Amino acid sequence: MIALIYGNDNFRSGEYLNNMIASYQKQKPFYFSYDFDDNQQEALEIGQIKELITGRTLFASIKVIVFKNLLNRSSSDVLGPLFKLLEESNINKSKSILLIIYERADIKDKHIVNWFEKQAHHVKQFSLLKSRELSSWLDEESRRLGVKLTKESTEILIASFGSDTGMLHYALKKLSLLGPKNIIDPRILEENIWLPFSTNIFKFLDNLAQRQIASAIKLLMQEINIDNSLNHLLYLLSMITFEFRSLILVKENQNFPQIAICRRTDIKPYSLRKIYPLTKYFTWDELKKIYRYLLLCDERIKKGLMPAEIALKTLMLDLKDVFTAS
Quick: pLDDT tens for 122-169. 999 999 998 899 999 999 999 999 999 999 999 889 878 888 899 899
- Looking at residue 38, its pLDDT comes to 78
- Based on the domain organization, do 207 and 326 belong to the same domain? yes
Q: Are residues 77 and 53 in the same domain?
A: yes
Whether residues 209 and 181 fall in one domain: no
Residue 87 reports pLDDT greater than 80: yes
Residue percentage of the chain with pLDDT more than 70? 98
Q: Which domain holds residue 268?
A: 194-326
Residue 164 sits in the same domain as residue 284: no
Same domain for 223 and 105: no
Residue 109 pLDDT > 80: yes
95: domain CATH number is 3.40.50.300
CATH number, domain with residue 137: 1.10.8.60
Residue type, 146: G
DSSP string, 264-304: HH---HHHHHHHGGGGGGS-HHHHHHHHHHHHHHHHHHHTT
| pLDDT tops 70 at residue 326 | no
Do residues 170 and 266 both lie within one domain?
no
State the average pLDDT for the chain: 87
Q: Are residues 13 and 119 in the same domain?
A: yes
H or E segment and range at residue 51: helix 46-54
For residues 196 and 234, give the distance between their C-alpha atoms in angstroms, rounded to a whole number. Answer: 15
Q: Tell whether 227 and 319 lie within a shared domain.
A: yes
Instruction: Specify whether the CB–CB gap between 150 and 185 falls below 8 A.
Output: yes
Where would I find the beta strands (DSSP E) of the chain? 2-6, 30-35, 63-68, 97-102, 122-125, 148-149, 183-184
Is there a single domain that holds both residue 199 and residue 313?
A: yes
Does residue 197 register a pLDDT over 60? no
Q: Is the pLDDT of residue 77 over 80?
A: no
**Domain end: 125, 150, 179, which one?**
125
- Gap between the Cα atoms of 279 and 275, Å rounded: 7
Residues 285, 205 share a domain: yes
The conformational region for residue 320 under phi > 0 = left, psi -120 to 50 = alpha, else beta, is alpha
pLDDT of residue 135: 93
What integer is the mean pLDDT of 67-75?
A: 85
Of 90, 125, 160, the last residue of a domain is 125
- Domain closes at, from 92, 125, 158: 125
The helix/strand/coil state of 150 is coil
pLDDT on residue 199: 62
Q: Please state the domain count of the chain.
A: 3
**249: CATH:** 1.20.272.10
Neighbours of 302 (CB within 10 A): 12
Distances (CA, A) of 144 to 94, 188, 232, 269: 35, 20, 19, 31
258 and 297 share a domain?
yes
Instruction: Looking at the structure, tell me whether residues 217 and 202 fall in a common domain.
Output: yes
